[in-house]
Structure 1
Amino acid sequence: MPPADLLSALEDQRLLAIVRGKDPAAALDTVLSLFRYGVGIVEVSLTGADALGVIAQARSALGPEALLGAGTVLTAQQARDAAAAGACFGVTPAVTEAVGACRDLGLPVLAGAVTPTEAVAAMNQGASAVKLFPATLGGPAYLRALRDPLPDVPFVPVGGVDAAAVRAYLAAGALAVGVGSPLVGGAADGRDQGELALRAEQFRAATLGEW
């Protein structure tokens, strides 16, 4: 997947869903449900139970065009395993060897960073965008401050972004937002599946508008 295609999709969708679950079957159902509810970009964290299996099964069910990625990728081997399972992009929590490994595999990568130095390092290593993590550390005001000296860096805030904060981050210049538990709740653990559609609708509505 070309990096430009992922950036274009993030700019269009404004929302990246993050699935991390203790129950592989529930996590798979959650991934498939999110796509069915109109969330077009989904990351499966490798810290979840049988995450590679979830990615592989979801890829088989969704087909080759679905924007399905792997998150919490820390090592080059994890990047290779994620690509083999069917991930078409990678997400890291920090600037690790996985950034370059994803780049070399042809996977667009969102690299985790929180400081200007880390953000520049991530982009220099081939990141397609910077995952501003944890976003709650500075909130939308910090993102706005980062964008003053780094206007060309695409930032995707992740960590504690609830539906009420989505518009503030987008208004501060975020390319998109990454959302885990505020969106997924307990669905990937086998709970709250009935509320997932409502939360997906709330988050999608929060991304609408001009930014």
Structure 2
Amino acid sequence: MAVTQPTLTALDVMRDAPVIPVIVLHDVRHAVPMARALVAGGIRMLEVTLRTPQALECMRAIAAEVPDAVVGAGTVRTSADAVAAARAGARFAVSPGFTPAVGRACRDAGLPLLPGVATGSEIMTAQEEGFFALKFFPAVQAGGTAMLKAWQGPFGDVAFCPTGGIQPGNAAEFLALKNVACVGGSWLVPADALEQGDWSRITRLAREASALQRV
């Protein structure tokens, strides 16, 4: 009998932990031990980016073998990406930008979407389509905390996940803002840790990220 997964919202994804790891996987053999290492450190929402040919197979492996993880698809740019990710077991989606077509495809596939925005007009477009939990990307390059503070007035009903240029040294500055629900970052899964199979290092980085404070 198939197991029915609980329904997620984009805010559920953003509020589960202070950091959503942005993960690039080139080897399917790394997927399951990496996911287990992140979960052991308190990070369950795992954004596996569609930047490699192995990404969908990695999602399938995590979805099948790491029940405590919630695998999501990052770098979703087309409707076809959304459909493929859902079929691979993804339970949420993250996009670098936003189009209404991608938004509809994610809804049709049952994937909560964190659409990427970098301007006020993009925020308004996403809101017109019913999206109020958004990814601010590329965060540092597009104005950083100053931009987020400026948006608190006109877009006080939006929760953001800043991603792009976020590191341990500046994550706390973003998480201190009232319109930031979490941040996204690639530092939790360093490429050399994957290659070396250093799962304890990934668990340590996840544990440190889980301990970050947010308002």
Fold shared per TM-score above 0.5:
yes
Where does residue 186 of structure 1 map in the other structure?
191
* Pair 1:77 & 2:77 matched: no
Alpha-carbon RMSD across the aligned residues, in angstroms, is 2.0
Q: Deviations over 1:131-176 (max 9, x none)?
A: 1000112111211111221011111000111112122111123111
For 1:53, which of 45, 54, 57 is the aligned residue? 57
Shift of 1:86: 0.5
Structure 2: any 5+ residue segments left out of the alignment? Answer: 1-5
Shift of 1:91: 0.6
SS of 1:30's equivalent?
Answer: helix
- Cα distance in 2 for partners of 1:52, 1:142 equals 34
Where does residue 140 of structure 2 map in the other structure?
136
SS of 1:94's equivalent?
Answer: coil
The verdict on how the C-alpha distance between 1:3 and 1:27 changes in structure 2, with shifts beyond 3 A counting, is: closer
Correspondence 1:1-211 to 2 at 5 A: 2-4=7-9, 6-63=10-67, 66-96=69-99, 97-127=101-131, 129-137=133-141, 138-173=143-178, 174-180=180-186, 182-186=187-191, 189-191=194-196, 193=198, 194-206=200-212, 208=213, 211=215
Name the aligned partner's letter for residue 105 of structure 1.
A
Structure having the larger proportion of residues in helix? 1
- Cα distance in 2 for partners of 1:42, 1:117 equals 29
- Name the count of aligned residue pairs: 206
- Cα distance in 1 for partners of 2:193, 2:73 equals 15
- Cα distance in 2 for partners of 1:192, 1:61 equals 18
Runs of 4+ in 1 over 3 A off after TM superposition: 1-4
Equivalent residues of 2:62, 2:69 under 8 A apart: no
Structure 1: any 5+ residue segments left out of the alignment? Answer: none
Shift of 1:29: 2.7
With normalisation by structure 1, the TM-score equals 0.88
Shift of 1:14: 2.1
Equivalent residues of 1:45, 1:71 under 8 A apart: yes
- Cα distance in 1 for partners of 2:89, 2:77 equals 17
The verdict on how the C-alpha distance between 1:197 and 1:21 changes in structure 2, with shifts beyond 3 A counting, is: same
Name the aligned partner's letter for residue 150 of structure 1.
F
Name the aligned partner's letter for residue 186 of structure 1.
A
